[in-house]
Amino acid sequence: METIQIRLTKNMLEQLDELIKEGTYPNRSEAVRDGVRRLIEYGQPSNKVLKVSVKDLQRFVRQTGKK
């Protein structure tokens, strides 16, 4: 497995940590890996920038995780 470095806003990191606190993910790495998997799975073109609010992303994760 490779290691990468990313930069997040303070707000994004706080919201990511909230998902971990709620038990949605065990740690930051798994949360980010799942986000990347979902982007790949849903076929987002790599030449487009996707702007999504953290709250929308949290809602999406909760909804798709209930299957």
Q: How is the chain split into domains, by residue range? A: 10-64
Name the 3-class secondary structure at 42: coil
Neighbour tally for 19: CB within 10 Å: 19
pLDDT (tens place) for every residue of the chain, 67 residues total: 899 999 999 999 999 999 999 999 999 999 999 999 988 888 755 566 667 778 888 888 887 776 5
What tokens appear for 61 in the block? 């994760």
Output the pLDDT for position 55. 80
SS3 assignment for 43-62: CCCCCCCCCCCHHHHHHHHH
Output the pLDDT for position 49. 63
| Residue 16 burial (C-beta neighbours within 10 Å; 0-12, 13-18, 19+) | buried
